[in-house]
Each structure stands twice: as C-alpha cells, then as structure tokens.
Amino acid sequence: MNYIIKLRYALVLGAVFSSLFTLHTFANETVFSELTSSYDIIDVMPSKNSNPDIYVTCKASVDMKSDSSNDSRQIRLLPSGYNLTVLGAEYGWVYVQDDEGNTGYVYSSNVKFKNGEKPENIPAVDPLDEKRLEVVDFSKQYIGTPYVWGGTSLTAGVDCSGFVYSIYKNFGITLNRSSRGMYSGNGISVSKSELKPGDLLFFNTSGGGVSHVGMYIGNNQYIHAATVDVKISDLNDSYSQKTYVGAKRILA
C-alpha cells in the first residue's frame, strides 16, 4: 500500500515539474515575439531567444555593455540604425551579437524589436575619406615636376613644402610655408600605424630637425618633391625609416 502511495506521489510531482518546465520554455520563446509589437522595457528573468527572425535596431548611438548593468565595461559604441542579432534578455537589457561576433548587452529602450531577416549593416562612408583620395589623385598628376628651391608652381617647379602647400591650396586649405612650420603648426599628430591618404609625413634629412615633408598616398607610399623632381617613394625603405620624424593629419 505504501508503495502505491509513493508511486502516485512521484507521478504527481513529475507532472508538476513537467508543466513548470513547459511553461518556462514557452515564456522564453514568446517574450521576444511579443516585443516585436510592444516596445515596453523587458522586465523578465534571464531568457534565451531561439527565433532567428527577431532582431533589434539601435534607435540612436547605443553603448554595448559587457554585462546587464550601466556600470559594466563598454564593449563598443553602436551607431544609430545598427542591426543586432538577439540572443536573449534579462532585467531590461537585451543580450545581442554584432556583425563582428562581439556579444554584449544593450538597454531595451534604446533599441527597436523587429521581425524578419536581419538586414546587412553597411559601414558608414566618411566623407573625408573621399576628400583624402581626391587630394591624392590630384597630387599624382604632378609626378615629374622639377624640384626648384622655394618653388610653389606645380608645373614649373616646387620644393618639398611648396609641393604640399600648393596641393592643399588647390582645395582651399592654407598651410604654413615651410616643412618645420607645417609640423609645428598644422594638423593633428597621428601615429605611423594610423596613417591615411593625405596625411603629411615629416623627415629629418639634415640632422637638425624637420627638414623635409611629403604626403602619404596609401600602401606605405608617399609622394614628395625630392632632390630632382616630384616622385613616389616607399615609406619602408631604409632612408625613409631612418629619417622619419612624424605625421600630421590635415583633413580631420
């Protein structure tokens, strides 16, 4: 008799736990579907999202955090309109993944839930990047212009500072006239590893400080008025590496 009672008790408990598990699973799967039509802050226990057709879009610039707390470390700043894969949610935060595979948390009121296949995030184009390439392309047409001390004519002759001075003047930017003056008074300093086309490169070719300037054109190359004419040189060659001083960004 005791055996039968114990068996019945075990069966009842099993049914209760099974119901609770089913209810919990159902809640996890439906909470995200409901949020595609309701934009209230998620106020649920930690839940996972198993629906690949639910994603979120940043309403404005949003911090991706390492944990579901404002005090946690910032992983990255997401731009407005950025689309994220939804992995889960907890206590007002959405657990997400970006296109680079980074995972973290964004506050739910800062994103909008959407249904369907997550759109591709197209990197924003920096308009200055286009201008930098325009400056470089313009400078290349003067390869072969003779070197003339003190010269600023892109066709008749230029010295090193006169060359970059005249290139940038064509785009409405007035630089200091000497390489030393440019280095001390124009642009912002950038490291060699962060160079972009159009950046000015400075060299100590005389042993007495900055005495030469060229313009970075990409692929570890720079254009400059050398001792004979305007030409392109390799920033990684031994002479350039030995005399290199630093770089300044004019278009910033």
CA distance to 49, 96, 160, 168, per residue, from 46 (Å) = 10, 13, 63, 57
DSSP 3-state of 45: coil
Location of structure tokens 């106020």: 43
Q: Which of 65, 196, 212, 248 is catalytic?
A: 212
Contact 41/108 with Cβ under 8 angstroms? yes
How many other C-beta atoms can be found within 10 angstroms of the C-beta atom of residue 230?
A: 23
Q: Which of 78, 96, 135, 160 is catalytic?
A: 160
The secondary structure of the chain in percent helix, strand, coil, rounded to multiples of 5, reads: 30, 30, 40
β 244-249/188-190 pair status: antiparallel
Q: Is 24 a catalytic residue?
A: no
124 Cβ contact list (under 8 Å, min separation 6): 79
In 3D space, the residue among 88, 101, 97, 92 whose CA is nearest the CA of residue 70 turns out to be: 92
- The b-or-e profile of 90-112 (16+ CB within 10 A means b, else e) is beebbbbebeeeeebbbbbebbe
Distance CA 210, CA 241 (A): 14
Q: Which of 196, 224, 248, 249 is catalytic?
A: 224
Catalytic residues: 160, 212, 224
